Homo-oligomer: A and B are copies of this chain.
């Protein structure tokens, strides 16, 4: 069984792209990828198949041919993958599985989302349609409740939660692909408009258009593209439920714990082996609970862990060097693929101003909720320096 490798990466600057359709987003990420393959790639000759991650906010895709139309790559098998906010990482996972069969040597993965199109409907309806909306539990409220519960159960402070946003904006201000490139203080975060107590505007990720692409290849052909690839050590998805009595907690996601356990086992590592991580900070509190669910710190200790600076760029385990969803943005289907793009750069020491010191193992994490808010989905991918 061949391992799967990242052999190239590219993405567009995340932001507000009213001037681009989803086709334009796909095309531009694809062109950036072509530039991001060390020894070059002849896409019509080399690419055997593609996976396309989008939840299709714009209602314009309905399948893989969106990629053929935007790239001119016809005749390929191209599969659209949808998995809520974990869509991009799951596209990487399905490509990696195909590469490992030997049927596919070189796969293109593109994640893209045109959020400035029909976002109000999506964001309003996400996670709330049947069970929660009538109770006022929109997405910010859903996560706000987790924040108040973590504060009540473990003594986590508002400042500790705000520190996540401060750190991620610090990082994002240095990352050329990030949407929100400014720095802010804990007071700035706390004084920004309240969205859902205790979360303020700066605790929330913005509405962002974007696209990202990676080349996933087998061991057999990776040398054709680069002498410095990144190994995909694991790519795992798990689903969880909020509907099972007694098993659930407001301060933990079963899906994250299950996906992380599978990923660590598959890659033969432990949480302590991770040198750099991109995690799903759709809200600041989400990053906080994720620290515990991934095993980066003890349960109940994430507030202090974050306050200690361990997750800053120069800490023991830098988290969200790119600025995460809060500063980089969260174009749903692109998010996981953009995390892969950054890991490709980090593990090749090419991440510029956000470079972590000599990382050997990178982890990416995406968490999604379905429209019923009855379940969650999590993807955890492990990337390794070769």
A: residues with CB less than 8 A from B are 1, 55-56, 60-66, 68-69, 74-84, 86-87, 90, 93-94, 97-98, 100-103, 126, 129, 236-241, 243-244, 254-255, 258-259, 262, 266, 368-372, 374-377
Contacts and interface: CB of A to CB of B under 8 A. Distances in A.
Contacts of A64: 83, 237, 239, 377
Contact of A74 (B1, B62, B239): B239
A374 B65 contact: yes
B75 A258 contact: yes
Contact of A90 (B79, B84, B254): B79
Given A63-B368, A63-B377, A79 B74 contact: no
Given A74-B239, A97-B103, A376 B62 contact: no
Contacts of A77: 93, 236-239, 259, 262
A81 B90 CA distance: 10
Contacts of A84: 62-63, 65
B240 A370 contact: no
A116 B236 CA distance: 35
A92 to B, nearest CB: 11
Contact of A237 (B1, B78, B81): B78
Q: Which of A84, A87, A370 has the most CB of B within 10 A?
A: A370
A384 to B, nearest CB: 17
A83 B76 CA distance: 13
Contacts of A66: 370, 372
B101 A97 contact: yes
A100 B2 CA distance: 12
Nearest to A97: B98
A62 B98 contact: no
B65 A87 contact: no
B79 A80 contact: no
Given A236-B77, A238-B77, A239-B76, A1 B101 contact: yes
A75 B239 contact: yes
Contacts of A237: 64, 77-79
Given A101-B100, A241-B69, A377 B81 contact: no
B254 A60 contact: no
A78 B238 CA distance: 7
A254 B75 contact: yes
Contacts of A243: 69
8 contacts: A60-B372, A62-B84, A63-B377, A65-B370, A65-B377, A79-B83, A79-B94, A81-B82
